[in-house]
Chains A and B, each alone.
Chain A
């Protein structure tokens, strides 16, 4: 039903992913070379390599984070719609997920306990993330 509301092809671009991971790998190599240069006593080269490595790694992570955030923004909220079924005579109440064809005051089959017709008394959606209340 409404579950597939966010199944839209809004994934992060494959090309972007390849570029980001390539940059990550290169920056990792730059960091390793930087450490190696430091151990060999070549201080200036080490600082440049570590700086370049750290900067590009930070940039790659930031780009990845931003694209994930964009995809999250594109997703729409999933809602679950429930149907309440009641027996007017014995007052039994059932709750199930909405099915196509349901409508409020629709008569359904006989009640298991009292043979009276069951009726749909309410159809409503359940909100997962309720709005933050502003107490002012």
Chain B
């Protein structure tokens, strides 16, 4: 039997093979595509596992080095990495902010107590840094578990759409995981991170002035700024700490009976693709990330006393925000100070009192 007009056996075989290929691709094309996608996800998952294991190893080694535990901390670290937090019920959203605030406080205290138990020889700054290190390892562990879950689910059910969704978001997930891996090293060594640009600017202003502690884990200095009195606020460093600027701003405003001409918040802001790292931008509103509790408290108090709320941000992406501070970000400090001077001179009068808040993680930045 001849498949094609050619007479020699080689042409016949080639023709038959191409027909077979056509049929195979028609019937199993999607399946082949599925296996290609599975392989891509598998490679990323393997990389995630390496990153996660490296994070766990770094955390354990840092605890052994700094905390000098008497027993091997590995099992305790593994238990720590599996901790979870259940967010408050939101069926009746009234009062949810304070419920969330309470849960976050309990979580924070619990994690710090655990760190003190795992690493008994560590001082206060090291406890903060170790907590941050373990939180980064926890985040990596969480990302790995979620990706693995969807990968196995997709493979078990042979559901192309689960794998397709996973494959579509994987570049972003991998970027975030790599950022946490870098953050972990920064936290372990106590290096300033990109998110610390706010506290860095506040600390620069505070230099040479006396500071006092305000709740929770924040410091404030009173100093002259362009003929005004500035209350400069930041989280207490150099340990990895974001403090609770919401409570601190509320207390400062209440202390001054609402006679504050302006609140300026300086923070790291997420940049869009195509924008330069370290670019400075001005705006209005509460420049603070996180779960939203601090932003809520600040907005509440400024609304109560009708105080204008200004924001200055330094643009950076998520990777820059949690990894050791880039030179471009460190160099943006003078630019931010210049913008701040302009805002203060244009929007307030001499003799006024203003609050300047350096928002972010103050790891590696003193005061």
Contact = CB atoms under 8 A, between A and B. Distances in A.
Interface string A104-132: 11100000000000000011111100000
B327 A103 contact: no
Contacts of B323: 79, 125
B122 interface: no
Nearest to A103: B238
A102 B325 CA distance: 14
A98 B191 contact: yes
A39 interface: no
A81 B325 CA distance: 9
Contact of B326 (A10, A105, A124): A124
A105 B367 contact: yes
Given A76-B181, A123-B325, A126-B327, A103 B365 contact: yes
A134 interface: yes
Interface stretch (A1-9, A13-21, A53-61): A1-9
B207 interface: yes
Given A8-B54, A73-B47, A104 B366 contact: yes
B324 interface: yes
Contacts of B274: 134, 136
B335 interface: no
Interface string B250-264: 000000000000000
Main secondary structure of the interface of A (DSSP, over half): loop
A74 B237 CA distance: 34
A34 to B, nearest CB: 18
Nearest to A5: B185
Nearest to B274: A134
B143 to A, nearest CB: 15
A61 to B, nearest CB: 20
Given A8-B54, A105-B366, A123-B364, A81 B191 contact: yes
A5 B185 CA distance: 9
Interface string B316-328: 0000000111110
Interface residues on A, range: 20 to 34
B50 A2 contact: no
B366 A125 contact: no
B238 A106 contact: yes
A100 B53 CA distance: 23
Most B CB contacts (10 A, CB to CB) among A104, A105, A127, A136 go to A104
A48 to B, nearest CB: 12
Contacts of A134: 273-274
B50 A74 contact: yes
Interface residues of B, number: 33
Contact of B192 (A73, A104, A127): A104
A105 B324 contact: no
Contacts of B50: 8, 10, 74
A123 B159 CA distance: 48
Contact of A124 (B181, B207, B238, B329): B329
B345 interface: no
Interface string A62-86: 0000000010011011010100000
B182 interface: yes
B326 A103 contact: no
B195 to A, nearest CB: 14
Contact of B46 (A74, A79, A104, A106): A74
B192 A123 contact: yes
Nearest to B181: A76
B178 A103 contact: no
B364 A104 contact: yes
A41 interface: no
A103 B51 contact: no
B327 A125 contact: yes
Contacts of A103: 190, 192, 237-238, 364-366
A2 B185 contact: yes
Contacts of B185: 2, 5
A123 B200 CA distance: 10
A1 B62 CA distance: 12
B283 to A, nearest CB: 25
B181 to A, nearest CB: 6
Nearest to B185: A2
10 contacts: A8-B50, A74-B46, A77-B178, A77-B182, A81-B324, A98-B189, A102-B364, A105-B367, A125-B323, A126-B327
